Amino acid sequence: MQLNMFKGIIPAFYACYDEAGEVSLERIKNLSTHLYEKGIRGLYVGGSSGECIYQTLDERKATLKCVAENLQGKITLIAHVGAPSTKESIELARYAKEVGYDALSAIPPIYFKLPESAIEKYWTEIMDSTDLPFIIYNIPQTTGYNLSVPLLKRLLTNDKLIGVKNSSMPVMDIERFKAASHEDFIVFNGPDEQYVSGRLIGAEGGIGGTYGVMPELFLKAEEFISAGNFSDARKIQHDINDIIIALCSLNGSMYSVIKGVLKLSGINIGSVRGPLEAVTGEDIKKIDDIKKKIEEAIVKYQTI
Ligand SMILES: CC(=O)N[C@@H]([C@@H](O)[C@H](O)[C@H](O)CO)[C@@H](O)CC(=O)C(=O)O
């Protein structure tokens, strides 16, 4: 397996809606083209940022297909296929394979608190449903399950497992997963607030929910790390974190703020779907300040 295609900056793709809140193929095409032109390594489609659990199977398939039709063969495409049931997850996995994805990924089962044996079976059945490589999505803050090293080791007996997208907050988890696996196993940094530290401790790429609103800054952070310029890497991470704190400071979901910034920048992908909350009232005016903050940071690092 050629793992280089997964190394680098992979934005988690945002759900794209029209003004009525329906999935918009035109907007999916616009956003995916916009991110591609920024120079990203790939896209992670249909994950948390894709509002996966609030979309129907048909909407998720339409999104997967539209991104693939636009960018397949140009960048790495990872399909997140985690769904409430194994049946639906496998249906999405087979669909992703059919429309040309390079890899699959899934959160553990949601809602019921299931034993690890059920989680193992769930991921194994998805892996066995196609010949695509598979990436575990570990995000304990939303799923309530944190990948254990013993389960990772058992799953590693399946050659299709090529990596973990780790969104748990301790960077040490990245080091543990890397140490429990092998050289050709890739750990993706999940928390964007610690991209630099995640990379230094063993992550070889990143998949993140805020990359899409400021790809230039994460591409630059990656450039600094690759060049061994840790002083500037630390500085840009600081500025990125200030922006993430601002994105999370308004009265709606972070994704609503991100979509507001993108809209002001000419990329309209609508708002968020309930129960996620949109930004309202006076806070709407503050979105422009966040956009300016991002632009200032981009300019600051452009010539370094
Ligand atoms: C808990 C959480 O939502 N984590 C995000 C981060 O990118 C997160 O949005 C960011 O670090 C800001 O807190 C990602 O791991 C989500 C992601 O990659 C996805 O959309 O699938």
ipTM of the complex: 0.97
In the chain, domain spans? 3-214
Q: Could you tell me the distance, in angstroms and rounded to a whole number, from the CA of residue 49 to the centre of ligand 1?
A: 7
CA 178 vs CA 78, 102, 140, 187: distances in Å: 20, 22, 18, 7
pLDDT of 304: 87
Ligand 1 atom at minimal distance to the Cα of residue 211: 7
Which of 43, 48, 237 to probe ligand 1 with, by most ligand atoms within 8 A of CB? 48
**How open is the CA angle 123-121-156, to the nearest 5 degrees?**
60
Q: Could you tell me the distance, in angstroms and rounded to a whole number, from the CA of residue 211 to the centre of ligand 1?
A: 9
What CATH topology corresponds to 3-214? TIM Barrel (3.20.20)
Which of 9, 138, 192 to probe ligand 1 with, by most ligand atoms within 8 A of CB? 192
User: Is the Cβ atom of 210 under 6 angstroms away from ligand 1?
Assistant: yes
Residues labelled catalytic: 137, 165
Rounded Cα distance between 200 and 31, Å, is: 30
Nearest to 190 by CA among 22, 2, 44, 92: 44
Backbone angles phi, psi at 51, to 5 degrees: 50, 40
pLDDT tens string 170-226: 999 999 999 999 989 999 999 999 999 999 999 999 999 999 999 999 999 999 999
Ligand 1 atom at minimal distance to the Cα of residue 47: 21
pLDDT of 1: 67
**Torsion from C-alpha of 179, 182, 185, 190, nearest 10 degrees:** 0
pLDDT of 264: 98
User: Is the Cβ atom of 90 under 6 angstroms away from ligand 1?
Assistant: no
pLDDT tens string 228-264: 999 999 999 999 999 999 999 999 999 999 999 999 9
Check whether 68 has a pLDDT greater than 70. Answer: yes
Q: Could you tell me the distance, in angstroms and rounded to a whole number, from the CA of residue 74 to the centre of ligand 1?
A: 24
Confidence tier at 279 by pLDDT (50, 70, 90): very high
Q: Could you tell me the distance, in angstroms and rounded to a whole number, from the CA of residue 52 to the centre of ligand 1?
A: 13
User: Is the Cβ atom of 12 under 6 angstroms away from ligand 1?
Assistant: yes
Put simply, whether the predicted model's pTM sits higher than 0.95 gets the answer yes
Which whole number is the average pLDDT over 6-31? 98
Q: Could you tell me the distance, in angstroms and rounded to a whole number, from the CA of residue 210 to the centre of ligand 1?
A: 7
Which of 49, 135, 136, 166 to probe ligand 1 with, by most ligand atoms within 8 A of CB? 49
